[in-house]
Chain A
């Protein structure tokens, strides 16, 4: 084994060694240069046209795939952000309108009835008007106005301090009282006209008259200022968003 190594390494004379050494030098040079070229950032510069064509077509296919992916993701993003947000906004707006009408912070317009009560003898008390309001609510009235004061769930109707009429939420109103209600005109009218109902009671009061007129368009412009509850707080567990 040592003989082989030494025979391998032994110089064989200049005629043999010089050409072989030169070629070996070329090989070493070529090796180093190739490694450097392949490793350089523009390693593509060493690629053959064939390889470049393959790389190009691969990149083209990949590009198409990614473009399709982008399109899909864009649609998803639009659906998630745009679609839902718009729908949610719509729902919120509608809700706000409904609540506004019920709370009296928005004017309302629609079919309904207008009730006119004359009371020359001051025999129509607050109780009768309150009954009328309750009756209207039971019959599905969505907005009620009493002589220019918006009537909501927290409204109070009491005899006026000076005895000349009624105090509605602190505002004095005098006969003739004009009660407007928006709802189904027929239902509201019939509710008031039941035996022993509001119409009957007013007619029994001395000197008072009542007239119920169905209207296809009742406009209520009176508003009620929104009052922040002092004691009540929203309960997140109960109620829908």
Chain B
């Protein structure tokens, strides 16, 4: 419940204050958001599986974001930025889908 409120609060704050990302961060924000989303879905699934651990969640959240951003950053430096970012997004997407499927099975027994 509280985390949900936190999410909503974050959205509202971002909207209300009209914040825009700083230039050095702007290219990597989308990847970071998707990575965070993957961690959140993972956390939700863990919760439903009754194996949620806050420590695991926090670490996986931060870890996902850092790894994704670092990979894309390195890729840009190496000149394979486009391909690597695609790869990262694809993998994160697969994980999100599989977590979402698990959650769906829990919630709807289907």
Contacts and interface: CB of A to CB of B under 8 A. Distances in A.
A8 B4 CA distance: 10
Interface in B39-76: 39-40, 43-44, 47-48, 52, 54, 57-58, 61-62, 72, 75-76
B36 A8 contact: no
Contact of A36 (B3, B19, B36, B44): B19
Interface in A4-43: 4-5, 7-12, 15-34, 36-38, 40
A26 B36 contact: yes
Interface stretch (A46-54, A63-71, A163-171, A199-207): A46-54
Nearest to A51: B82
Nearest to B55: A19
A45 interface: yes
Given A32-B10, A51-B82, A23 B58 contact: yes
A44 to B, nearest CB: 10
B20 A20 contact: no
B34 to A, nearest CB: 9
Interface size class of A (residues with CB under 8 A): 35 or more
Given A28-B14, A30-B32, A11 B2 contact: yes
Contact of B3 (A21, A31, A40, A48): A21
B101 interface: no
| Size band of the interface chain B makes with A | 35 or more
Given A17-B3, A24-B6, A4 B48 contact: yes
A28 B72 CA distance: 22
Given A32-B14, A37-B26, A45-B26, A27 B54 contact: no
Contacts, number: 145
A29 B19 CA distance: 9
A229 to B, nearest CB: 80
Nearest to A34: B29
Contact of A45 (B12, B23, B54, B61): B23
B30 A24 contact: no
Contact of A27 (B7, B20, B47): B7
Contacts of A38: 30
A30 B33 contact: yes
Contacts of B28: 48
Contacts of B10: 24-32
Nearest to A9: B1
A32 B11 contact: yes
Given A28-B9, A28-B10, A50 B76 contact: yes
Contacts of A16: 54
Contacts of A225: none
B83 to A, nearest CB: 9
Interface of A: 1, 4-5, 7-12, 15-34, 36-38, 40, 45-51, 54
28 contacts: A10-B1, A11-B2, A12-B54, A17-B2, A21-B3, A21-B6, A23-B36, A23-B58, A24-B3, A25-B7, A25-B9, A27-B33, A27-B36, A28-B7, A28-B11, A30-B29, A31-B14, A32-B11, A33-B19, A33-B21, A33-B29, A36-B18, A36-B20, A37-B26, A46-B29, A47-B27, A51-B82, A54-B82
